[in-house]
Structure 1
Amino acid sequence: MSNFEVFIEKFINKNNKKDEAIKVYCAVVLGEFKLSNYKINNFLIKSLNTKSIYLRVSSLEAISKIGNLNYFLEGIKYISDSNHYINNKIFIDVLNQFGGDQYLINKELMKNFDSFNTNFKKDIIEHFKNNKIEYVKNNLIEILKSQSYGKEVKISIIKYFSVVNYEQAQEEIIKILKEYDWEYRAICASALSSYKSAKSIKSLLEGITDKNWYVRYNSAMSLLEFDENIVEKALLKDDKYSRDVLFYAMFMKNKISFNEYIDKSKKLEVNYNV
């Protein structure tokens, strides 16, 4: 053991029973030094069991920076099982700071996925999305197809597949757009903007006639990502609501002015009231 490690262990022993503000400082220092031994990791794991959000976050962040895969997973599982609160953006940031092999930690997060609570599952999927992690896509498509997972997790997966394109995902997203409740349908309508195919166009043209406004709006916004002739085809639909939402989407994307949108909406009212 180096003199530096001896110093760190003495530092821990001296401050182990101090108040939580001192422990937060200790955790931050240990994370910056990135030393990994039993005493250090044990101190940080024990520090997760606290009512202090600051100490909990600082300790998990330190464990992440140190980069010991097993201890980091142990820490995540402990917080998940205890239902201790950690802000989702902070947790995702902690995942990104892992000092070890990123490939291995992502593989382990997926392998242990079912052992985490719903909030952590959503955050882990968002972490995969933000970093465009493709090697988990087969796992996530199976979860999306499964009946064993809730809406929040599945919606997170649909958002992942709006960034990581996958043909199997496109098929599943189109299926969900036709069959599930409006929250699913609205997210799927947005996701299809990333899939430039005839199947997507057909589904989105149906989506702008949906009974739910959010589904219509998201479908319209996605259609505007396609060629102009597709939008022109959509505007030929003999449906007041689909045409109105397309005009509104065009205004939201700064393709027409607000006055132009109002004018087109008024003309629709006149035409359908005659």
Structure 2
Amino acid sequence: MNVESLLYIYLFVCAGMIVFNIVTAILLRKKDRKIAKVSEGFRRSVVLQLDRVRNGLEVEPAHKQYLARKLKRVGNMIAFDTMLEEMYIDNSLCARKYLSELGGVFVSLTIQYSEKNSTEAAYFPYIIKKYRLLADNSFPSITGLLMKLLTNPNLYCRENAMQALYTTGDCDCILKALKIIDNSDLFYHDKLLSDGLLQFAGNHRQLDDAILACFDDFSTDMKVALLNFLRFDSGEYCGFMESLLRDAQQNEEIRYSCIRYFGKYRHMPVYPYLLWLADGNNGLNWEYAAIASSALAIYPGEATVELLKKNLCSPNWYIRFNSSQILDRLGLTYLDLIDVMEGHDRYAAEIARYRFDRRKLLEKEAVTQ
């Protein structure tokens, strides 16, 4: 094939892409206009009901039937959502009261959305979460659908369902959901769980205690996610974390999570053990020393400094890097590390010099700003 033919093929592909983009833009614009038109139809109906709610009256049954019929289609649900966003801006209190009377409507929609494909089904729990429809009312049929969606292969379905369940404020409901996720074969990233649990709308102390009460029932991966959640949620569980950390039979990832917990909350009874873990010559995997070295940032003292200086000579780069980072955070000067800077370990001197150079650069930037 000669160059001229390749050029024509290239031009044909470019022309095809341009046509595709134009057609897509036209279709999207048409779709937006349709959503706006449907939203306006919803608005005319909802405004009348908001006036009733504002005057202390209930939403009319005919309006509920109208919504139950219309909202079966995802496109109409999107239009309804668009309209509600504007209503919330105008009068959030009245809009919330209006939505609180639509529980029966959303209960009736659970069957329809449970039979839709994953992408469309994911939108239903999104609406439940967005408007916190389960915050003040318990609807077993809606909760049941959300539990069912937790086993859906589509990640958006599972995450939206969990986000909706967090708004219930029900500890038992969350524990049940966690066990469903844990028993399924589907991958669920631990960060999604640990960050999501922080959004729990109920009493966090009760949730924490409930998790600890059945902690041993979960798999290792789920335990790690729960420990990460506890680290960001509360510093009240040092005793529990210490017992896990000192148990050499525990999975290493669990013990790593415990070390990170003590890097956030100071617990002096575990300090000597952290020093031992941070020693790169303790015979354990290098991850223990690397993570424990970082945890020592909130345990300033001579023993901490001496161990971190020793770790600067570690053959493991991560241990050296973390130790130098914490020494810098502790505010050590060139004179404090003179024995390292003028020692025989070139790598230790280089990483210490890097920290000093970086500190000077940051101080210079702070002055200029």
TM tier, smaller? 0.7 to 0.9
Cα deviation 1:14-56 (Å, max 9, x = unaligned): 4332333332222122233123232222121122121111111
Instruction: Provide the residue aligned with 2:353 in structure 1.
Output: 247
Partner in structure 2 of residue 265 of structure 1:
none
Q: What is the aligned length?
A: 254
Which residue is equivalent to 1:150? 251
Contiguous gaps of at least 5 residues in structure 2: 1-99, 363-369
**C-alpha deviation, 1:61, in angstroms:** 1.4
CA RMSD of aligned residues (A): 2.3
Tell me whether 1:50 sits opposite 2:152 in the alignment.
Answer: yes
CA gap 1:161/1:83 in 2 versus in 1, 3 angstroms = farther
CA distance in 2, matches of 1:233, 1:161: 30
Give the letter for the 1:33 counterpart. Answer: L
Partner of 1:272: none
Amino acid at match of 2:360: K
* Greater Cα shift, 106-115 or 133-142: 106-115
1:176-199 CA distances to partner (integer Å, 9 max, x unpaired)? 123122221111122212211122
- Which amino acid letter does the alignment assign opposite residue 191 of structure 1? A
Equivalent position of 1:187 in the other structure: 291
Which residue number corresponds to residue 167 of structure 1?
Answer: 268
How far 1:238 moved relative to its partner? 4.9
Bigger mean CA deviation after superposition, 181-190 or 242-251: 242-251
Please give the residue correspondences for 1:1-274 in structure 2 after superposition, counting only pairs within 5 Å.
Answer: 4-31=102-129, 32-34=132-134, 35-131=137-233, 133-178=234-279, 179=282, 180-226=284-330, 227-228=332-333, 229-232=335-338, 234-235=340-341, 237-251=343-357, 253-255=358-360
Query: Which stretches of structure 1, 4 residues or more, deviate above 4 A after TM superposition?
Result: none
Relative to 1, partners in 2 of residues 1:52 and 1:196: Cα closer, same or farther, differing over 3 Å? same
Q: Distance in 1 between matches of 2:126 and 2:144?
A: 15
How far apart in 2 are the matches of 1:193 and 1:172? 15
Give, in whole Å, the separation in 2 of the partners of 1:241 and 1:29: 55
Unmatched segments (≥5 aa) in structure 1: 258-274
Residue type matched to 2:120 in 1? I
Deviates more, 1:106-115 or 1:2-11: 2-11
| 8 Å CA contact retained: 1:27, 1:58 | yes
* Higher Cα radius of gyration: 2
Rounded Cα–Cα distance in structure 2 between residues aligned with 1:11 and 1:3: 15
Identity %: 21
Secondary structure of 1:255's match? helix
Bigger mean CA offset, 84-93 vs 173-182: 84-93
Q: Answer 1 or 2: higher relative contact order, Cα 8 Å, separation at least 6.
A: 1
Within 1, Cα distance between the matches of 2:341 and 2:276?
24
